[in-house]
Amino acid sequence: MKLLIKKGRVIDPKNEIDEHLDILIEKGKVLEVRKSIKENGARIIDAEGKIVSPALVDMHTHIREPGREDEETILTGSRSATKGGFGSITVMPNTQPPIDNQGVAEFIYSEARKVDLVNLYPVGAITKGLGGKELSEIGALAKSGVVAISDDGMPVMNSHIMRRVLEYSKMYGIVVISHCEDLELSAKGVMNEGYISTVLGFKGMPNESESIMVSRDIHLARLTGARLHIAHVSTRESINLIREAKEENLNITAETCPHYFTLSDEAVLNFDTNTKVKPPLRTKDDIQAIKEALKDGTIDAISTDHAPHTEAEKDVEYDLAPFGIIGLETALGISYMELVKTGFLSLIGLIRKMSYIPAMILNLHNKGHLSVGADADILIFNPAVNWEVKKDILESKSKNTPFLGWTLPAKPLDLIVGGRVIMKEGKITRNERNY
Amino acid sequence: MAEWNRKDLLGLKELSREEILFILDTAESFREVSTRPIKKVPALRGKTVVNFFFEPSTRTRASFELAAKRLSADIVNISVNSSSMVKGETLKDTARNIEAMKVDIIVMRHSSSGAPHMLAKAVKSSVINAGDGSHEHPTQALLDIFTIREKKGRLEGLNVSIIGDIAHSRVARSNIWGLNKLGANVTVCGPTTLMPQEVEKLGVRVTNKLKEAIEEADVLNILRVQLERQSENLFPSIREYTNEFGIDSEKLKYAKKDILIMHPGPINRGIELTPDVADGPYSVILDQVTNGIAVRMAVLYLVSGRPESDETSD
């Protein structure tokens, strides 16, 4: 049986399509994209008045299984991704145990198959135990299907080891995702360093704690010719460095997250621990720089850095709370509101940064576009449908978002993954047949 | 007459000039109580106050305790070592338990900025911030300002220089907010490494030349040096700090003849302040301590929500 999505406004950044078309799906693949497809016997989804785009791809997700299932599991993380319109997400390696060997990577694939909602792709650890000292078996990890390697949250401070990682990764054509933070310079910091940290008396993390390491990694990328991706860019200084590196045609990409172009450090003034995140929320000037960098392409992708923490962990003194914000369910709405409505990105430009580009960076060549033969991972949403961010409707097991109470546009309505409808009109449907 | 409508006193940043003056004027009327043979008024009789201290403190805690007792309140002291915090209970749970015991006012000191604010949101009791991290220490600043006004007769146009570790000082921050609202000119002076980022945006003059800070000052408020800052490489040695920023009678030769020397205590004698200056004719350090009780009586009284009653007769 076939599935036919009719009359939607189809947005496909790879093929530069933005027009009203029908999409025919069979055996989990896109079979045909054109006007007025007639197909007897196909199940029909009426997408009139809605946007039909590739399902979103998140290249920076923390799913806490194995290890911290009280914060997020593969099931709850997958449901959260579904609600957010993501057909594919990653699993950053700081699980317990970390994804530094084939066993853990295979465990994640196997659990994800049981949950059977969205695609989960593990990201391998750069060093054993995320210790920053010994290379993990990157070859074995690549064979077990990791889509990138990273020491996210535990950056490799030793430049020699980082150089070797970059060199070694080239054999496998795998991207190295770097969390750029000089841990000495940011030590004990809980927020951005600036006027607001001065008012609040908090130890700050200067912009330079990020940009110094962005600079180092750019230098090492030049030295090695490896594929470097800079995670969660938050500062103007980092952007300037990345822009220069791109002008030099270095093989570098970069991402930012919705909170970095939406909230400034002023959000910390009410001591809401849901504003505590690394890198920290920066200044309005940095927000402006990030929006400009998204517009001019210096920043390639928007990721969530979805980092679940329980209410018990977060409901403590600001100093003591863990870093992290959940983001899967709010990413599209915030990005639409802050970037498309304000004119920084076109709708196709936004979808490009949230699906096609992350898929390309992760070498997921059948994801993030709607070419004939591509995986039928498709999102249907309506920019005009608003929803309020409330704890009890979030699917994530954790509720640590500073956007609670916000009304967001562009609610994801239907999500199709591998030709299977897993969400219909905003409700997760697990018993649909495959198309 | 000004009014007091706040449940809590968390900082001076959010207070208006009128509210600050109202506290100072209320403190004025309480000052006399401590000079009586029987140092007690019934203003808070039947009210319960908890001193909830997560950091060591001698004078602030004693000052609040005496203030509460002189207002006839019942007061309980909970300090971090004897509390349940070491058993892994969260701040909020402990606070809710205290509230369940029907406490009217919680006086809190904590090493984390914002801890009293979090508490104030969680409980119905009034919360008084007795120092949170490097954020605010409103009652200390109020007693400093009270003492300046007492000695100088005014605040408007006075030059107050705060000397030392500005970056880690809640006393400095609260003083800056309060003094600025009342029309004084604040200068901060200390090693560049102990100046927080963009401190000038707080509305202060910034210098690291001690002579400049002394010359124009009507008041020197000298901060305590936290000796552990040396190990964080914020200054090279105690010796160098004392040479560069310690106040001695030699450096005071540049000062105005009627300068006031203040210190929030406890003093590192011979480090930020030499004994002859601390005990000398310009020093009002012990007046600060005396005034602290009157100011804290005023604050306890105001947050307890009875500003309309006559505080000295009942």
> Can you name the residues that pair with B260 across neighbouring β-strands?
B219
Test the A interface: residue of B90, B93, B111, B113 with most A CBs within 10 Å = B113
Q: Tell me what ipTM this predicted complex has.
A: 0.93
Q: What is the Cα gyration radius of chain A? A: 21
- Reply yes or no on whether the pLDDT at A315 is more than 70: yes
Could you identify the residue written with the tokens 């927020």?
A191
Residue B145 has a pLDDT of 98
Of A198, A201, A320, the CB nearest to B170: A201
pLDDT value at position A167? Answer: 97
Residue A154 lies in a domain: yes
Active site residue B110: no
A52 with A383: CB under 8 angstroms?
no
The pLDDT > 90 percentage for chain A reads 97
Interchain CB distance below 8 Å, B111 and A204: no
C-alpha B55/C-alpha B77 separation (Å) is: 12
CATH number of the domain residue A169 falls in: 3.20.20.140
* B132 to chain A, closest Cα gap in Å: 9
Residues of A in contact with B110 (CB under 8 A): 317
Residues of A in contact with B168 (CB under 8 A): 201
Residues of B in contact with A201 (CB under 8 A): 113, 132-136, 168, 170, 173
**CB pair distance less than 8 Å for B168 and A198:** no
C-alpha–C-alpha distance, residues A309 and A326, integer Å: 8
pLDDT at A432 over 70: no
CB contact (8 A) between residue A195 and residue B118: no
Q: Do A318 and B90 touch (CB under 8 A)?
A: no
Tokens of A54: 């590739």
Q: How many CB pairs under 8 A join A and B?
A: 62
- Residues A242, A246: Cα–Cα separation, whole Å: 6
Q: Please give the backbone phi and psi of residue B310, each rounded to the nearest 5 degrees, phi first.
A: -80, 120
Domain contains A208: yes
pLDDT band of residue B311 (cuts 50, 70, 90) is: very low
The Cα–Cα gap between B27 and B15 comes to 16
Ramachandran quadrant class, A225 (left: phi over 0; alpha: psi -120 to 50; beta: rest): left
Among the residue ranges A36-40, A90-94, A233-237, B174-178, the one predicted with the least confidence is A36-40
Evaluate if residue A133 carries a pLDDT over 60: yes
**pLDDT score recorded for residue A255:** 98
**A382 occurs within a structural domain:** no
* Cβ within 8 Å, pair A319-B113: yes
CA torsion angle B87 B89 B95 B96 (round to 10):
-120
Q: How far away is chain A from the Cα of B296, in angstroms, using its nearest Cα?
A: 23
Q: Is A195 on the interface with B (CB under 8 A)?
A: yes
**Averaged over A18-22, what is the pLDDT?**
98
Q: At A380, give phi and psi (nearest 5°).
A: -120, 125
As a whole number of angstroms, the distance between CA A114 and CA B253 comes to 81
Q: Tell me the C-alpha distance between A416 and B150, whole Å.
A: 74
Positive/negative CA dihedral, B286, B289, B290, B295: positive
Provide the number of structural domains found in chain A. Answer: 1
Contact A175, A362 (CB under 8 A): yes
> Which class for A424: exposed (0-12), middle (13-18), buried (19 or more C-beta within 10 A)?
middle
A373 touches chain B (CB under 8 A): no
Inform me whether the C-beta atom of residue A189 falls under 8 Å from chain B C-beta atoms: no
The C-alpha atoms of residue A50 and residue A410 are separated, in whole angstroms, by: 10
Residue A236 inside a domain? The answer is yes
Would you place residue A152 in the very low, low, confident or very high pLDDT band (cuts 50, 70, 90)?
confident
Q: What string of H, E and C letters represents the secondary structure of chain A?
A: CCEEEEEEEEEECCCCEEEEEEEEEECCEEEEEECCCCCCCCEEEECCCCEEEECEEECCECCCCCCCCCCCCHHHHHHHHHHHCEEEEEECCCCCCCCCCHHHHHHHHHHHHHHCCCEEEECEECEHHHCCCCECCHHHHHHCCCCEEECCCCCCCCHHHHHHHHHHHHHHCCEEEECCCCCCCCCCCCEECCHHHHHHCCCEECCHHHHHHHHHHHHHHHHHCCCEEECCCCCHHHHHHHHHHHHCCCCEEEEECHHHHCCCHHHHHHCCHHHCCCCCCCCHHHHHHHHHHHHHCCCCEECCCECCCCHHHHCCCHHHCCCCECCCCCHHHHHHHHHHCCCCCCHHHHHHHHHHHHHHHCCCCCCCCCCCCCECCEEEEECCCCEECCHHHCCCCCCCCCCCCCEECCEEEEEEECCEEEEECCEECCCCCEC
Query: Considering the domain boundaries, does residue A176 fall inside one?
Result: yes
Exposure on the CB side of residue B127, measured as CA atoms within 13 A: 26
| List of domains in chain B | 17-136+292-303 (3.40.50.1370), 138-289 (3.40.50.1370)
Residues 194-213 in B contacting A (C-alpha not used; CB under 8 Å): 196-199, 201-202
Which amino acid belongs to residue A374? A
Q: Which residues of A touch B196 (CB under 8 A)?
A: 197-198
Q: What angle do CA A415, A419, A425 make, to 5 degrees?
A: 25
User: Cβ neighbours of residue B287 under 8 Å, at least 6 residues apart?
Assistant: B147, B150, B151
Instruction: Enter the tokens of residue B117.
Output: 């604010």
Mean pLDDT of A270-283: 98
Residue B81 predicted with pLDDT over 80: no
Residue range B199-240, pLDDT digits in tens: 999 999 999 999 999 999 999 999 999 887 777 889 999 999
- Cβ of A318 within 8 Å of Cβ of B134? The answer is no
Write out pLDDT tens, residues B256-276.
999 999 999 999 999 999 999
Residue A259 lies in a domain: yes
pLDDT, tens only, A367-400: 999 999 999 999 999 999 999 999 999 999 999 9
Contacts 24+ apart (CB under 8 A), B309-313: B309/B43, B311/B26, B311/B29, B311/B30, B311/B41, B311/B43, B312/B29, B312/B33, B312/B41, B312/B43
pLDDT at A435: 60
Find the catalytic residue in B47, B61, B70, B109.
Answer: B109
Gap between the Cα atoms of B302 and B3, Å rounded: 9
Per-residue exposure over B42-79, b if at least 16 CB sit within 10 Å of its own CB, e if not: ebbeebbbbbbbbbebeebbebbbbbbbbbebebeebb
Q: How confident is the model at residue B87 (pLDDT cuts 50, 70, 90)?
A: low
Of chain A, the percentage scoring pLDDT greater than 70 comes to 99
The alpha carbon torsion through A26, A32, A34, A40 (nearest 10 deg) reads -40
CA distance B89 to chain A (A): 10
Task: Tell me the residue range of the domain where A262 lies.
Answer: 54-361
